[in-house]
Amino acid sequence: MSGKRSLIRSGTTVDQMVRAIGDRIVTGVLRPGEKLDEVSLAVRFEVSRTPVREALGQLSAMGLVERRPNRGAIVAVVTQEHLTAMFESMAELEGICARFCAERMTGSERRALETEHQASARLVRLGAEEDYEYFNTEFHSRLYRGAHSTHIQELTATTRSRLAPFRRAQFRLAGRLAKSWQEHDAIVTAILRGDGAAAGKAARDHVSIVSEASAVFAAGDQPNAASTTSVTSG
Amino acid sequence: MSGKRSLIRSGTTVDQMVRAIGDRIVTGVLRPGEKLDEVSLAVRFEVSRTPVREALGQLSAMGLVERRPNRGAIVAVVTQEHLTAMFESMAELEGICARFCAERMTGSERRALETEHQASARLVRLGAEEDYEYFNTEFHSRLYRGAHSTHIQELTATTRSRLAPFRRAQFRLAGRLAKSWQEHDAIVTAILRGDGAAAGKAARDHVSIVSEASAVFAAGDQPNAASTTSVTSG
DNA sequence: TCGGAGGCAATTGCATGCACTTTTTGCCTT
DNA sequence: AAGGCAAAAAGTGCATGCAATTGCCTCCGA
């Protein structure tokens, strides 16, 4: 074809499409319920329908999109019930991770966890939501990795990405930033103490609270709008 | 297009292929490390390569097959480490399910659980491994459903299917049948008592034991695998 | 005999085309 | 005017074909 792969980075075209579409779902550019037209996407990304179809299939297997036979694909719409179940599962998964962390983290992992956590305190004082968001993600990733279980890590990561569309902007809630840090602090303290049960409980509680915070947004956040925002990929 | 649907049952061709290939992996007809040739599969199932490719992509997203770009697909080969992690996760997931069951199961669910469980006792006495296997699957499915959490159910089901290739023949181990039933009994008793903590622990222990039992088989059961031990099974 | 470069066969990756399904639109009937 | 039916339009599902990549085999040189 007309030469090169300037889309998203290397990999096969299908992989690029999975990442491209998946990212747009997770980051909220494509919103739950939005129709995913094969030809539009193909034109949009300058590929044929085949890789788009394969990508949609894989995203469907991952639960990010929903496919109705002969009737097209849409960004996965989850019921309130299912959303609750996902947050609940997320709480349990993070609880397990935290428990494992308390039992298994190496010395350097513990030090890194605490160092980064303490560093993020500054962002709370500054009220830097964007930056804290980044630290928050990193913090949780540390928990997943620290569990030393590749599979738990997988389950947690996929669940997290499926929840991502529904937890945006949670830090805009008044006071959420400071509270989040305090909750993280409880988790870190318990892990450093080696108290698995306490770490697990703290992590579960943390996610549960995030869950409630996010539910507010989820309620008024499920459009069927078909406006395909033009994105500058480059 | 000679439209005959005599393959596996309804759904699109791709769905049929996902089920067909997935089943063969889960049931061990296709074994870890085995090459999945697109044209062979296409010929074998009398479809073109396209649905086969899509199916392989989805199975790859599910973790059942491994895809190397431009180099074909193989049935997923898991390292001993990853296998351990999966069993460990499975134990935790089932523990959560059992805990939730104890807290949430309806009256009729509890009755059905106990009834079926008691019925399966007969199979243990007869040493009917095949039939018990079926009841065993059903028993665990009841736990997943009884947790009343669609997402935990999903996580559990996919993890279970990814483990399936490695837990075949576990009931052939001497005495495993009776022990399995006793472990189930502990879970059921705790659930009926409404004791979530005990139910969780019993379920975790149960899976852990299955894990150890299966590890025996997993060791000598990876045919073409690059980095595993030699094969002892027939 | 060993190592490497080049070419050939086999296989994957993607584009395109056609068939089938669903949805929409326009016309006819009541 | 409203409802229903039918035909067209749109869009998905799958097959086929071609390009590109990989792996293997051969041949040549040291």
Cβ atoms of B152 and B93 closer than 8 Å: yes
B-chain residues near A54 (CB < 8 A)? 53-54, 57
d(CA A98, CA A92): 10
3-state secondary structure of B65: strand
DSSP labels, A89-133: HHHHHHHHHHHHHHHH--HHHHHHHHHHHHHHHHHHHHT-HHHHH
Question: Secondary structure of A23-51 in the HEC alphabet?
Answer: HHHHCCCCCCCCEECHHHHHHHHCCCHHH
Q: How far is B16 from chain A (nearest CA, A)?
A: 13
The answer to whether the C-beta of B39 is closer than 7 A to strand C is: yes
Number of neighbours of residue A11 by Cβ within 10 angstroms: 14
Q: How far is A198 from chain B (nearest CA, A)?
A: 15
| CATH class label, A14-75 | mainly alpha
Mutate to test the interface with B, among A89, A90, A211 (most CBs of B within 10 A): A89
d(CA B184, CA A123): 50
Instruction: Say how far B142 CA is from D30 C1', in Å.
Output: 71
Radius of gyration of chain A (CA): 19
Of A12, A88, A89, the CB nearest to B69: A12
* Domain boundaries along the sequence of chain B: 14-75, 80-217
Note the maximum CA span of chain B: 58
Q: How far is B136 from chain A (nearest CA, A)?
A: 24
Q: What is the pLDDT of residue A2?
A: 37
CATH code of domain A80-217: 1.20.120.530
Mean pLDDT of chain A: 86
A64 φ, ψ (degrees, to nearest 5): -85, -30
d(CA A6, CA B72): 25
> Which chain A residues in 90-129 lie under 8 Å from chain B, judged by CB atoms?
92, 96
| Element housing A73 (H / E) | strand A73-75
| Weakly modelled stretches of chain A, pLDDT under 50 | 1-8, 219-234
For D20, nearest residue by CA–C1' is: B70
Helix pair B176-193, B129-146: axis angle to 10 deg: 20
| Weakly modelled stretches of chain B, pLDDT under 70 | 1-10, 168-174, 213-234
Per-residue pLDDT tens digits for A185-207:
999 999 999 999 999 999 999 98
Copy the structure tokens of residue A16: 């690029």
Beta sheet of B73-75, edge-to-edge order: B35-36, B73-75, B65-67
Of B53, B58, B92, the CB nearest to A61: B58
What is the model's pTM? 0.87
Q: What is the pLDDT of residue A166?
A: 84
Instruction: Say how far A1 CA is from C16 C1', in Å.
Output: 13
The answer to whether the C-beta of B174 is closer than 7 A to strand C is: no
3-state secondary structure of A36: strand
**Amino acid occupying residue A167:** R
